[in-house]
Amino acid sequence: MTFESPPALMVGWCLSNAAVTVVGGGVVAERRVHALLQADARVKLIAPTLSNTLQQLAHTRRVHWRGRRAKPEDIVGQRALVVAIDDSIAARHLASLARDQGVLVHVADDPEWCDFVFPAVYQEGDLTIGVASNGRAPALAARLRDHLARALPPGAAAAVTRFGELRDNVRRAWPGKQQMQRRMTWLTKVAKAMSWAELATLPKERNGAPNPLRITDVDPDLPVRSEREGSVTLVGAGPGDPDLLTVAAHRAVRDADLVLADRLVSPEILSLVQGRLFVARKLPGAADHAQAELEDLMVEGAQRGLRVVRLKNGDPMVFGRAGEELDRLTHAGIPATVVPGVSSVLAAPGLAALPLTQRGISQRIVISPGHAANDGPLSVPRFEPKTTFVFLMAVRNLPRLLQALLEQGFPGEAPAALLSDASLPNSQTIQAPVQSLLEAARDHQVCPPAVLVIGDVVLALANQKSNQPSHSESMNRHQETPFLGSPTDSSSQRDLFPRKAMVS
Ligand SMILES: C[S@@+](CC[C@H](N)C(=O)[O-])C[C@H]1O[C@@H](n2cnc3c(N)ncnc32)[C@H](O)[C@@H]1O
């Protein structure tokens, strides 16, 4: 590889049980031998003398050592030759003999005589990260490798392994070449949508493999209480902080035999459950399946005489599919009640001290979803002055949503705020005019769940100096999949408003 050479193609070379000769007994040879052994190669080591570490490896027969100088026959039948000796003429001579026989060569510190390079590697389980510098700055590559390894999200390696199992399972569920596109699309969505913690702990089937089509952790052996009539209560869990549960919700959750919770319900609230608990896992493209499964379980639980609580984030009647569930219960002849909850529509602005209506500024509120079901066409409200617009489920779809709003007549300079993780320790408030909100959200790595508020009422935020008090210090909620990265700051309220927007 010469100075001007193009970058090497990074590939993973499968060397399990392949014969590789390493010539040299010093520190460099030592590193190469370690890398080769990690790949499970059969290493023949040729050197009159060895470093202490290499002596150990020879002693324990992890490498086959010949205590002499290399000969041409050492190359015959090898998959690769690695030369790490000081005598560059002898090294090139060996490499040239090897190339003549079609053996790939690597001469340390001699890029021209390298058919392959050894990147600086970080390895954990099935995860391998390699950093290569085109043979020009190996020391820096190693430093970068360490930097990247430290920056890995916790559970990354476990997530890789579980995702591999999930992929095998998807192949079995949707086999054949004709379903390849479907498999790839689904897996790509899951990889983007789930947090690292969720990926690292994907639920497993009895056969030990995560199943993409079985989304809920459902226990089929529900108890039966034939002495009484079962019931279902749709309960609002509020935005996350247990302090924002109503007294009725708290009682219903505590007294339930079976709680069927949505994914967004916080662990602190789930820890109040004393009966059985199932948490829905609405994976991308499988939300309808998960919903149907939850509804089946809700009906089945009630028919077995259980007090079933369907626990939903915020208020159950706001974007919570409560209507469908009530219909299903009516058809099944099961009595249902609803315990309203504190909706994020109100809680997020409230906790940020952002009034949704204000005399002379805004006299009505329009609440809309920020995305379209099943990635269909997005329908957004038209802009109206003196109105506050609240969008839920907007973060992942933010670029498309903001574009659609501008097309519907929203002024680019309209004040907007993204209120994420309201009532939770990572809560964050980002303000920017509509036209620069996307950039601000990216800069601050805003994560779902978040409420987007647009309207002149947001200007009130810009005038506030202090942070909101943080809620529920003990809460340690699972981390949502980040919007273009991981959250770095917590409990912060930033004023991103350019001056001209503040006075507009
Ligand atoms: C499926 S909707 C359910 C809304 C819920 N029924 C309610 O009344 O808040 C989920 C959306 O609610 C919003 N949301 C829920 N919890 C939130 C929180 N703690 N902070 C900010 N937004 C939240 C987000 O927009 C999220 O995408």
pLDDT band at 285 (very low <50, low <70, confident <90, very high): low
Span 266-286, mean pLDDT?
A: 81
pLDDT value at 499 more than 70 = no
Mean pLDDT (whole number) for 485-504: 30
Contact 364, 357 (CB under 8 A): yes
Residue 501 has what pLDDT? 26
Burial class (CB within 10 angstroms; exposed 0-12, middle 13-18, buried 19+) of 227: exposed
Q: How far apart are CA 259 and CA 235, in angstroms?
A: 10
pLDDT in tens, 387-399: 999 999 999 899 9
Range of 7-11, 152-156, 217-221, 253-257 with top mean pLDDT: 253-257
Mean pLDDT over 254-266 rounds to 91
Which of 282, 312, 315, 421 does the annotation list as catalytic? 282
Return the ligand 1 atom nearest residue 342 CA.
8
Active site residue 262: yes
Ligand 1: residues with CB < 6 A are 239-240, 264, 312-315, 318-320, 343-345, 348, 392-393, 419-424, 448-451
Whole-angstrom distance, CA of residue 306 vs CA of residue 334: 11
Return the percentage of the chain with pLDDT > 90, whole number.
63
- CATH architecture for residues 19-118: 3-Layer(aba) Sandwich (3.40)
Task: For residue 312, report the distance from its CA to the centre of ligand 1, in Å.
Answer: 10
pLDDT average, residue stretch 306-324: 96
Strand partners, 211: none
The preferred substitution site among 234, 321, 343, 344 for testing ligand 1, maximizing ligand atoms within 8 Å of CB, is 344
Question: Is 304 a residue whose pLDDT tops 70?
Answer: yes
Average pLDDT (134-159) is 92
CB 183, CB 170: distance < 8 Å: yes
Report the separation in Å between the CA atom of 161 and the middle of ligand 1, taken as the mean of its atom positions. 31
Q: Which pLDDT value is given to residue 248? A: 98
The pLDDT assigned to 334 comes to 95
Q: Phi-psi bin for 168: left (phi > 0), alpha (psi -120 to 50), beta? A: alpha
**Which positions ≥6 away from 259 have C-beta within 8 Å?**
253, 270, 273, 275, 276, 277, 278, 308, 309, 311
Task: Measure the N-to-C terminal CA separation of the chain; round to a whole number of Å.
Answer: 59
Question: Does the pLDDT at position 404 exceed 50?
Answer: yes
As assigned by CATH, the class of the 345-503 domain is alpha beta
Predicted confidence band at 42 (pLDDT cuts at 50, 70, 90)?
very high
Q: What is the pLDDT of residues 325-342, one digit of tens each?
A: 999 999 999 999 999 999
Residues linked to residue 377 through DSSP beta bridges, in sequence order: none
Q: What is the pLDDT of residues 161-190, one digit of tens each?
A: 988 988 888 888 778 888 888 788 878 877
Q: What would the DSSP string read from start to end of 226-271? A: TTS--EEEEEE-BSS-GGGS-HHHHHHHHH-SEEEE-TTS-HHHHT
Task: Tell me the residue type at 405.
Answer: L
pLDDT at 482 over 80: no
Choice among 95-99, 191-195, 238-242, 345-349 with the minimum mean pLDDT: 191-195
Q: Which residue of the set 74, 257, 262, 315 is catalytic? A: 262
Residue 192 above 60 pLDDT?
yes
* CATH classification for the domain delimited by 231-342, as one of 3.40.1010.10, 3.40.50.450, 3.75.10.10, 3.40.930.10: 3.40.1010.10
Asked if 239 and 423 touch (Cβ cutoff 8 Å), the reply is yes
pLDDT at 434: 97
Q: What is the pLDDT of residue 198?
A: 76
| pLDDT (0 to 100) of residue 107 | 96
Give the single-character DSSP code of 23.
E
- Which has more pLDDT, 123 or 227? 123
> Distance between CA atoms of 231 and 335, rounded to whole angstroms?
6
Residue 303, token pair as written in the block: 């028919």
Find the range with the poorest average confidence among 13-22, 33-42, 194-203: 194-203
Q: Measured from the CA of 392, which atom of ligand 1 is nearest?
A: 25
Lowest mean pLDDT among 333-347, 448-462, 482-496: 482-496
Cα(355) to ligand 1 centroid in Å equals 18
Quick check: 230 and 258 in contact, CB under 8 A?
no
- Sheet-wide strand order for 231-236: 276-279, 258-261, 307-312, 231-236, 336-339
The pTM (predicted TM-score) of the whole model is 0.62
189 assigned to active site: no
Q: How confident is the model at residue 224 (pLDDT cuts 50, 70, 90)?
A: confident
CB-CB neighbours of 372 under 10 Å: 16
- Residues 222 and 301: beta-carbon distance below 8 Å: yes
| Collapsed DSSP state (helix, strand, coil) of residue 178 | helix
Contact between residue 257 and residue 240 where contact means Cβ atoms under 8 Å apart: no
**Least reliable range by pLDDT among 198-202, 311-315, 490-494:** 490-494
Tell me which range, 75-84, 255-264, 292-301, is most confidently predicted by mean pLDDT: 75-84
Mean pLDDT score across all residues of the chain: 85
Q: If you take atom 7 of ligand 1, which residue's CA is the nearest one? A: 314
Can you tell me which atom of ligand 1 is nearest the CA of 344?
9
pLDDT confidence of residue 8: 82
Instruction: Give the pLDDT band (50/70/90) at residue 351.
Output: very high
What are the Cα distances from residue 389, in Å, to 333, 395, 423, 446, 497?
Answer: 38, 15, 21, 19, 18
- Is residue 439 very low, low, confident or very high in pLDDT (cuts 50, 70, 90)? very high
| CA–CA dist 385, 172 (Å, integer) | 54
Asked whether the CA dihedral 84, 89, 92, 94 is positive or negative, the reply is negative
